[in-house]
Amino acid sequence: MIEIVKAKQKEPRALFWMGVYFIIFLILYTLLDRFNGGYLQMSSDYGWYLAVLNIGLNLLMSSLGAYMLGLSTTFMQLTGLSDKGSHATFLSVIFGMFTYGCTPCLVTFFATFGITLTVAVLPLMGLPYKLISLILLICGYFYLIHEIKRPKCSLPKGKDHG
């Protein structure tokens, strides 16, 4: 099953949508960095390496998220089943917004729910939280691959399914 799903990722339509997903995720991750101070502030406070590392992580996380959504979409089209692993992409973006995103917005958001104990100062402009988000994405990827390898329904034999 995994071979079928991976082969379908090379089709023009799948490549187009993965490109769209990649751009959306890259914009989201870049905005989160901007709300957290931006790349110029990262460079001036900690050195250029932190800005380059954050941009690299944004590219990696956007690529992985787009690929996971592509795999998940194809899997769902082939089987009619939704997988739980694809939710990791969404969760990592939400995690990013709640941790290394805009701290004043976060404090205000939690205060509306009566939660006043939040992190006010994030180390290295949120890099540890971005790494945790990357780990969540990687775990979601492996779970998604596990789900695709062991579908919970049998696929009909046909020319598209081998």
pLDDT tens, per residue, the chain with 162 residues? 788 888 888 999 999 999 999 998 899 888 878 877 889 988 998 999 999 999 999 999 999 888 988 888 888 787 775 555 555 555 655 555 555 555 555 555 555 555 444 444 567 777 877 888 888 888 888 888 888 888 766 555 444 544
Q: Are 95 and 133 in contact (CB under 8 A)?
A: yes
Per-residue pLDDT at 162: 47
Residue 59: partners with Cβ closer than 8 Å, 6 or more residues away: 26
Name the residue among 124, 107, 141 with its Cα closest to residue 33: 124
| C-alpha pair distances (Å), 65 with each of 29, 62, 108, 155 | 11, 5, 28, 26
Residue matched to tokens 């769209």: 20
Q: Supply the pTM of this predicted model.
A: 0.70
Q: Compute the distance between CA of residue 99 and CA of residue 128 in angstroms, rounded to an integer.
A: 10
Per-residue pLDDT at 141: 86
Per-residue pLDDT at 81: 59
Residue 131: partners with Cβ closer than 8 Å, 6 or more residues away: 57
pLDDT digits 0-9 by tens, 80-92? 755 555 555 556 5
Q: Are 96 and 122 in contact (CB under 8 A)?
A: no
Q: Compute the distance between CA of residue 90 and CA of residue 62 in angstroms, rounded to an integer.
A: 11
Q: Which amino acid is at 50?
A: L
Per-residue pLDDT at 116: 45
